[in-house]
Structure 1
Amino acid sequence: MTIIENVIGRVAVLRGGKYSVEVDVITSSGFGRFAAPIDEDPHLYIAEAHRAVSEVDEIIGPELIGFDASEQELIDSYLWEIDGTDDFSHIGANTALAVSIAVAKAAASVKRLPLYSYIGGTFTTELPVPILEFAEDELFEYYVLVRDIMEITDVVDAVNKVLGTTEAISLRALSEATEEAGKELGLEVSLGIALKSEIETEELLNLVEDNNIAYVKPVGSEELFLELIAGTHGVFIDGEHLFRERGIIDRRYYNALSIKPINLGTLTDLYNLVNDVKSERITPILAEARYESADEALPHLAVGLKCPAMILGKDSVAKMNELNRIAEDLGERGRLITFEE
């Protein structure tokens, strides 16, 4: 049965020594658990994590007992009602997400389905291309992409090859290292960059043209994004900055959007945003938050929501291994999505 019988909260420790809330959802024949990540440095001390646990145990949990865990949209809508604000500022987006995904996991376990299949349905066969964040300097965060990827592990091999080849952590050195790695591995290995601060449009265009860059996450004005789209070809321009700051979802400004589930609130909100992004012919890229647990849900969400790519840290071994397991589970039915603009 999928009727919720109990909801339990507890404190969870995330990567980086941050605290969040983990939630168990229990039905008579199903169980789901999820520890919510946190994106920004939240100063979420242990007392705040305990407050989130109290919200789950004393307010949210009792309200959800008796609900059918398979009614995901209804439960997610009710979480918004319990919160009573337009941004989950009362119960917290991390608490809402922990409950929402734990509910989905519980319903999936009753049906004896992996989470990706429960979310995506019978015809879920596409695997996202992993993009690994692997280094940073004072100007950029750096990513490795393998656009003609054949196996999930190709991107791990590429990162290892780049780190073993590069002479320094700098744009020029890493660009050259990705080109060398591609030649040695027989793959199309490219570099991605996320800007830490705004730079002039012409300078950024020159950096993209002069280096082996296939993915850029800029910060700046709408005009910057318009000029980047117009001035590049075959390069993914990630609009996370415009979406977060101005709520813009528009193909004229960017052609890719990294989406962190913690910034949405519930699984239904995530589903709706991914569909909105796809309707604009923008590539949705599911992304890790800055502080994560070892929970393996993210690759299931990426597969179930049919996101062509996902961003992980190079040390996110639990999520990489789970994506490998999903590929094995799908067998010959599974195929890696062609990741190209």
Structure 2
Amino acid sequence: MSVIQNVVGRVAVLRGGKYSVEVDVITSDGFGRFAAPIEENPTLHIAEARRAVSEVDEIIGPELIGFDSVEQELIDSYLWEIDGTDDLSHIGANTALAVSVAVAKASANSKAIPLYSYIGGTFTTELPVPILRFASDESFDYYMVVRDLLEITDVVDAVSKVLEAADSITLETLSKASEKVGDELGLEVSLGIGMKMPMGTEEVLALVEDNNVAYIKPLGEEELFLELIAGTHGVFVDGEYLFRTKNILDRRYYNALSIKPINLGTLTDLYNLVNDAKAERITPILSESTYESADEALPHIALGLKCPAIILDWTSIEKINELNRIAEDLGERGRIITFEG
């Protein structure tokens, strides 16, 4: 047994100067730490982070002392019970996630195995393809997609070369640059686009058809998603907007779903959604939140849950480097998942 002996909260500073809660879980033979990311939330000032720390130190921590840290589902269920609401509005999803992941890391530490092995088991050997968010303009966020990469660093090389080759940040210039760089590297280099404003269906279809786009995160009504699925081939249509606004989880509307752990609450909730997506034949893509810490857990979680891809900001070097370390750790057992739409 790896019995929880103490749970400690503190304020953590995230990328962008935002604040969140970091949690330490100390067991009889292990230790885990995780700082929860947050999405854009102007009300989440340091006072809110300090309130979350108080929740951890005064309410959650004392309740969890004595649990065996391997009982992840039981502990995650108990966090919901402690909260007492149907949306974690009392203790907060960021607090629940910080505790949940710290518990998993403590249990993995007690067994002296990597977090990805603890989550996914012995045969967890398929590395997620990194999709790097690398630029934006007023219309789109831009992502780099390399679907036949041999090494994690291939996508970093592609981003660097595309930015060098493009004389401006527009869809057309980045598309041409990505095709040129793909030829230079001998790889299938494509763009991903995340819509930042609504557009007409025909316009969106034309943009995808006329440019080197392999992944799109649309913004609009169900009809747009249906037309994109019907009118494109080999393109990942990300249904995050429909799932978030209308709770639609349906392969007829989209074939991929980017999932930010902070929007779920606990590791168990994340595990359940990933499996629900797979049951619908929708590709689950684990995604960074808007504001993240330097914690290296996300690649481990993506690998452990067998997500074929992971969305990272290309400045998130700690997570990119961790993917490299995991690849080295797996050695010949490891392979990069084939990422096909």
The two structures share one fold, judged by TM-score above 0.5: yes
| Cα separation, 2, equivalents of 1:338 and 1:12 | 36
Task: Tell me which residue corresponds to 2:158.
Answer: 158
Task: Tell me which residue corresponds to 1:329.
Answer: 329
Matches within 5 A, 1:4-19: 4-19=4-19
Task: Tell me which residue corresponds to 2:39.
Answer: 39
Task: Tell me which residue corresponds to 2:267.
Answer: 267
Partner AA of 1:50 in structure 2: R
In the alignment, is residue 313 of structure 1 matched against residue 310 of structure 2?
no
SS of the residue corresponding to residue 94 of structure 2 reads helix
Q: What is the aligned residue count?
A: 341
Task: Tell me which residue corresponds to 1:213.
Answer: 213
SS of the residue corresponding to residue 339 of structure 1 reads coil
Task: Tell me which residue corresponds to 2:71.
Answer: 71
Partner AA of 1:273 in structure 2: L
Matches within 5 A, 1:17-96: 17-96=17-96
Matches within 5 A, 1:276-315: 276-315=276-315
Task: Tell me which residue corresponds to 1:257.
Answer: 257
| Cα separation, 2, equivalents of 1:282 and 1:80 | 27
In the alignment, is residue 223 of structure 1 matched against residue 208 of structure 2?
no
Deviation, 1:209, is: 0.4
SS of the residue corresponding to residue 265 of structure 1 reads coil
Deviation, 1:28, is: 1.4
| Cα separation, 2, equivalents of 1:236 and 1:28 | 45
Deviation, 1:117, is: 0.2
TM-score of the superposed pair, with normalisation by structure 2: 0.99
SS of the residue corresponding to residue 198 of structure 2 reads coil
SS of the residue corresponding to residue 192 of structure 2 reads strand
Task: Tell me which residue corresponds to 1:135.
Answer: 135
Matches within 5 A, 1:139-218: 139-218=139-218
Partner AA of 1:199 in structure 2: M
Partner AA of 2:332 in structure 1: E
Partner AA of 1:179 in structure 2: E
SS of the residue corresponding to residue 310 of structure 2 reads strand
| Cα separation, 2, equivalents of 1:257 and 1:148 | 20
Identity value in percent: 78
| Cα separation, 1, equivalents of 2:313 and 2:271 | 23
Deviation, 1:325, is: 0.4
Name the Cα RMSD after superposition. 0.6
TM-superposition CA deviations, 1:254-306 (whole Å, max 9, x none): 00000000000000000000000001110000000000000000000000000
Deviation, 1:174, is: 0.4
SS of the residue corresponding to residue 5 of structure 1 reads strand
Distance 1:104 1:42, change over 3 A: farther
Task: Tell me which residue corresponds to 2:104.
Answer: 104
| Cα separation, 1, equivalents of 2:156 and 2:17 | 25
Deviation, 1:46, is: 1.0
| Cα separation, 2, equivalents of 1:157 and 1:41 | 33
Which runs of structure 1 show a deviation greater than 6 angstroms over 4 or more consecutive aligned residues?
A: none
| Cα separation, 1, equivalents of 2:224 and 2:208 | 14
| Cα separation, 1, equivalents of 2:55 and 2:42 | 18
| Cα separation, 2, equivalents of 1:135 and 1:111 | 40
Partner AA of 2:284 in structure 1: P
Deviation, 1:124, is: 0.4
SS of the residue corresponding to residue 39 of structure 1 reads coil
| Cα separation, 1, equivalents of 2:2 and 2:23 | 17
| Cα separation, 1, equivalents of 2:236 and 2:42 | 29
| Cα separation, 2, equivalents of 1:309 and 1:299 | 10
Partner AA of 1:125 in structure 2: T
SS of the residue corresponding to residue 134 of structure 1 reads strand
| Cα separation, 2, equivalents of 1:2 and 1:325 | 26
